[in-house]
Amino acid sequence: MPFRWNPDLTPNDVTPEALFRQRRRLIQSAAMAGIGALLGLNPGRVAIGGEFMTEVKKGVVTLDESVTPFKDASSYTNFYELGSGKTDPSTHAERLQIAPWHVVIDGEVSRPVRLALDDLLRPHALEERVYRLRCVEAWSMVIPWIGFPLGEVLKRFEPTGNARYVAFETIHDPDHLPGQAQRSLEWPYREGLRLDEAMHPLTILAVGMYGRTLPNQNGAPLRLVVPWKYGFKSIKSIVRISLTEKQPPTSWNRQAPSEYGFYANVNPNVDHPRWDQSKERRIGEFLRRKTLPFNGYEEQVASLYHGMDLRQFF
């Protein structure tokens, strides 16, 4: 069985209410007394690390595959703003300034907003979902993410009848992010989804992984996770979500359109022009595994692409 999706969990699967409330009181009083500031914690992290991370519904999506060790998932990363080597992002992680953090939601929505991260997160219940992440570079991992469906956020701000796509943008801060001082990519990093892909219940915004807040190198404080697409679609450190009528430009597609398509659905039958995509190396394993269509989520998402030639729309 590839994976189990259990959206209807009982209250027993959630952190006990009393514990959550007690924890929240502690955090509120700490914040009021300015203890967070004294400890060198910024308010955004206190809220995410405390109020929001304590109430996580576990087991919403599980997988019968070993979870990649946290050490690997947080040190072998792609985050070009922090450097193009795999260990650059963890080495330079502190350069990413994550507080205060605001997210703009605009474009084709009835209620455009600019929200502090806490206000964006507050109404959403957090869930733990174990997803595969398949990078276009033919390696993969299994990661227990903590997040909530992107579709719930989009509904909150009421897409208009013209909205057909969702565009995402990463922070642009060349004074702090060493990668943005170079032109390895066009900055800021941009990604996009079709509206129905964005509304699909498997698509999440993540704020944590492995039971803790996201490490900076993995896209703190807010990133996208789209498990059936190559990893580059899962944009990190999001500051803007815009609903659009037209298909938005995306970073890797602009960089090399023949290598990175807009759809980027994991497809073992369409090779990257420079390498085979039929197999992948799971980080921590020696032998390569077969790559699954849509990264193993075919049953859930293939219907989104009925009638489309996935060789053309790669």
Least distance to ligand MTE from the beta carbon of 270, Å? 17
Phi-psi region of 10 (alpha: psi -120 to 50; beta: other; left: phi over 0): beta
Least distance to ligand MTE from the beta carbon of 234, Å? 5
> In angstroms, rounded to a whole number, what is the distance separating the alpha carbons of residues 196 and 151?
9
> In angstroms, rounded to a whole number, what is the distance separating the alpha carbons of residues 305 and 197?
10
25, 109, 269, 310 from 266: Cα distances, Å: 44, 30, 9, 10
Q: Which residue stretches of 251-297 are H helix?
A: 251-255
Q: Which is nearer to ligand MTE, 36 or 231 (CB)?
A: 231
Least distance to ligand MTE from the beta carbon of 80, Å? 4
138, 223, 229 from 312: Cα distances, Å: 21, 28, 16
Least distance to ligand MTE from the beta carbon of 164, Å? 23
Q: Please give the residue ranges that form the binding site for ligand MTE (CB under 6 A).
A: 77-81, 133, 135, 170, 189, 218-219, 231-232, 234-237
Least distance to ligand MTE from the beta carbon of 54, Å? 23
CA dihedral 231, 237, 239, 240 (to 10 degrees): 10
> In angstroms, rounded to a whole number, what is the distance separating the alpha carbons of residues 184 and 206?
26
Least distance to ligand MTE from the beta carbon of 313, Å? 20
Least distance to ligand MTE from the beta carbon of 171, Å? 8
> In angstroms, rounded to a whole number, what is the distance separating the alpha carbons of residues 132 and 281?
12
Give the angle 81-82-86 at the CA atoms, nearest 5°: 115
